[in-house]
Amino acid sequence: MLHIAAKKVILYGIIILICILFGLSYIAFNYFQGVPVLNYHQINNEDHNVLTLSDTEFEAQINYLSQEGYNGISPDQLADYLQYGKQLPSKPILITLDDGYKDNYRVAYPILQKYHFTATIFVITDFIGHYGKYLTWNQIREMSDNGFSFEDHTLSHISLPKASDEEIRNQLVKSREALEWQLGKKVEYLAYPGGEYDSRVIQLAKEAGYRAAFTVNFGRDRINSTLYTLNRIPIFGGESHTFFRFWLRLNFTQAINALQNFKAYLLKEGDITIAGLIYIP
């Protein structure tokens, strides 16, 4: 009986902690919010996998951003704010899509235009025009001419921490050169493939001339954020990713981040049962 009572105390404690975290997150959202950077991949109704969001769900989310008065910004605006404190519009948000799938042009592009948003697409340059599910250079140029930013996601999406220095340089430099040659615009931003990086990768990204780099670490970005480990809010999860989950991730980023850290701590300490009780939206 004592063992059951102890479990109940722990469970109630977790519930109270979650309530406190969400309350503090609401305060933080309104007063110390930071800049949210949304991270999408595929937008279509055919690929039912963890990286894909349906067109109706994507439109519902972008419509929400529009109705709530969010203003889309560029990577330059974000970097200028973080580095120099330059003013951003009210309720700034950076929308990003990784890999450069063709549905970004076919589905996401018209939806974003409908609600007067642009986005930043991190492309795998060796895949452009060579594989049917990826963008073509003509599509990229059209979107670029209409205010969309195209930045680097390496040549072939390898795991950078597992590669040699020479291969990392090749992946970072050659892909950027291809984008700059095709678009006639400077490319200064990188999204680490798979979100994988280490101190060596960061140093090589700096040497390659990148101004900033994005991870898939969950969180918002503030003045004191490190430019080469910028946070994002991943918005994918296949059919499990509902609008409510999107809403929670956007509006309670700090609380969810704290819950993730707490759950990771419990798992590290071997408290698997208690960790299993914590739901991460």
Domains annotated for the chain, with CATH where assigned, are: 1-32+255-281 (no CATH), 36-241 (3.20.20.370)
Long-range contacts of 273-278 (CB under 8 A, 24+ apart): 274/10, 274/14, 277/11, 277/14, 278/14, 278/18
Mean pLDDT of 165-175: 98
> Above 80 in pLDDT, residue 244?
yes
**For residues 60 and 137, what is the distance between their CA atoms, to the nearest angstrom?**
29
Q: What's the pLDDT score for residue 277?
A: 74
Average pLDDT, the chain: 89
Residues near 27 by beta carbon (within 8 Å), at least 6 away in sequence:
none
Handedness of CA 226, 248, 72, 177 (dihedral sign): positive
> Above 90 in pLDDT, residue 31?
no
> Above 70 in pLDDT, residue 2?
no
Mean pLDDT of 236-265: 83
Q: What's the pLDDT score for residue 16?
A: 60
**Whether pTM exceeds 0.75:** yes
> Above 90 in pLDDT, residue 110?
yes
Least trusted range by pLDDT, from 11-15, 65-69, 82-86, 194-198: 11-15
> Above 70 in pLDDT, residue 19?
no
